[in-house]
Amino acid sequence: MHNIIDNIIEISYFVAAILFIMGLKKMSSPVTARSGIIWAGVGMLVATLITYLHPGMHNYMLMTVAIFVGGVAAWWSGKKVAITDMPQMIALYNGMGGGAAGAIAAVELLKGRAAFDSQTFLVLAILGALIGSVSFSGSLVAFAKLQGWLRRPMRFPGQQIFNIAVFLVAVGFGALLLTQNEFSGTVILIFFVAALAYGLLMALPIGGADMPVVISLFNALTGLAVAFEGFVLNNAAMIIAGTVVGSAGTLLTQLMARAMNRSIGNVLFSSFGASGGDEGDSVEGSMKPIDAADAGIMMAYAERVVIIPGYGMAVAQAQHKVWELATLLIKRGVDVKFAIHPVAGRMPGHMNVLLAEANVPYDLLYDLEEINAAFTQTDVSLVIGANDVVNPTARTNPESPIFGMPILNADQSKNVIVIKRGQGKGFSGVENALFFGDNTRMLYGDGQAMASELIEAVKEL
């Protein structure tokens, strides 16, 4: 009977693993992302239910209550959260994953050395605890920054040296556990406090503009921690899910950093976006305003229009109005495309999700590499809420903090219209030379309101 149950568990975990991998594969495309989430969700359901049959499992009532409470809380928050708040929710949920891995390790360590079959499993438990704790506290800082609770990065002289010292304390006490025949509760406590402190110290000095990369990195760390704890618990589902999440998060982190033409080390330790970016930031000229009526005429009689969305569009919840405007232009025979930068918004794929919510066809969305060559043939580029991703300073000014970052070449269009609430700098604090260009006109106002006025202007023609 035990052999039959063991076989059922192993087969179920294998099926769950296949569903995880297939779901992740489908999530790589906007066309299949929705079904990918469902596939992965079914895989998680299978892995969760079959765990009830795992040998030695107990506390079924506590498990069921925890799953119910967590499931209801996740469902409710998922339904209620605004699309503009999705990045911080992702950061928070990711932190919960890291915290869960750390908590599992803490429980196993408190059981004593007898709970570990070998020194290897003890090493994995300690590594999982360290990585999970760092991801947990670091993700909470990322959440607080994106939520606006921590508006100013916290830096002090010698911070990197101090951070390294705290990390070494965590590593040292983790190593001390390996030498003890009976684990000391004090050593375990200091180990976890140091690990949590390092996660906080690691994220606090990082500027808000780098949060997409940081969230992706913490996501990778969470996956790695879960995989390590899966080995400790001999749970195949945790091993596979953690490995998949860790590898996907690592790849995404590298892609995000590459999209900014920066190393991961530079993201973590340079504090870019934290000080306002005044170096090499002087721009000559002035911003030239335009009213919605003139901008509408310019777009309506254009042959080719490229729309470039950014986080400001998300804040204004203007995606539906922007698509309505695009639809009117398409009916007039205008060739309309949407240009998506990899780090537009505050998390990977943020703009894709917004535009999908407005039912923008996927074949109108173009990545940076696909669209950049077309800007020289574009009559009007409409920038709504984007800033750094269209800043030509990244190509022209070696003194700028964003120099070398690949951008959308909107400045090469014949005309540029920028919808912006005011004349302030963007999220990273770097002045945008595009706004001062001879071919650029500024349409000041709320994104949704200005899109509505553009719609009315086109309708009247």
Chain centre to alpha carbon of residue 192: 26
- The CA distance from 166 to 161, in Å, is 9
Kindly state the tokens that stand for 384: 């709504």
- The CA distance from 134 to 200, in Å, is 8
Amino acid identity at 227? A
> Which sign does the torsion angle of CA 298, 304, 308, 314 carry?
positive
Determine contact, residues 169/190, Cβ cutoff 8 Å. Answer: yes
Buried-state track 143-170, b at ≥16 Cβ within 10 A, e below 16: bbbbeeebeebeeeeeeeeebeebbebb
Kindly state the tokens that stand for 394: 């990244």
As a whole number of Å, the end-to-end CA separation of the chain is 78
**Which residues form the catalytic set?**
388
Beta-carbon contacts of residue 21 (< 8 Å; ≥ 6 apart): 244
- The CA distance from 415 to 99, in Å, is 50
* Three-class DSSP category at 289: strand
Kindly state the tokens that stand for 362: 């996927």
Helix residue spans in 30-118 (DSSP H): 33-51, 60-80, 86-110
- The CA distance from 332 to 232, in Å, is 63
Q: What is the dihedral of CA 160, 161, 165, 167, to 10 degrees?
A: 20
DSSP state letters, 377-411:
G-SEEEEES--GGG-THHHH-TTSTTTT-----GG
Nearest to 413 by CA among 288, 309, 306: 306
Cα 315 to Cα 77, 83, 85, 275, 345, distances in angstroms: 19, 9, 9, 23, 10
- The CA distance from 226 to 247, in Å, is 12
Which residue bears the tokens 């906080």? Answer: 200
Counting DSSP H helices and E strands in the chain, the numbers are 17, 6
Is residue 21 classed exposed, middle or buried when 0-12, 13-18 and 19+ CB atoms within 10 A define those classes?
A: middle
